Amino acid sequence: MTSLELAKKAAAILDNKKADQINVIKIEDISSLADYFVIASGGSNTHVRSLSDELEEKLKAEGISPTRIEGYRSNSWVLLDYSHVVVHIFTGEAREFYDLDRLWADGTKVSWQAEA
């Protein structure tokens, strides 16, 4: 699976679990951190943890495990690092505070939704 396919799959999994404001940003041309960031919001601390759990479970079922997970106990921002794709799941307040969408605005927003 390519990093783009993984990023789109992660976004779709989060969407199916009712994540808000899902963005996939291509950063490979401007950073060596990853090829893509997936940024999403949950409606509460519990929702953030649930989104994280769902993503990890669904991808693990396909043989894809994160190299690391950060922030799981904080519940306001969970980071799942899949090497070439880094997924950030925030509460609304944490997303507004850290504002990664603005910080990575030089990246290219990628359409991840399947066309009807």
- Phi/psi of residue 90, each to 5°? -120, 160
- Asked if 38 and 11 touch (Cβ cutoff 8 Å), the reply is yes
Task: For residues 26 and 44, give the distance between their C-alpha atoms in angstroms, rounded to a whole number.
Answer: 27
- Asked if 76 and 91 touch (Cβ cutoff 8 Å), the reply is yes
The class of domain 3-110 in CATH terms is alpha beta
In angstroms, the Cα distances linking 78 to 4, 97, 107 are 21, 14, 21
> Distance between the two ends of the chain, CA-based, in angstroms?
22
pLDDT score, position 114: 66
pLDDT score, position 15: 96
Low-confidence ranges of the chain (pLDDT < 70): 114-116
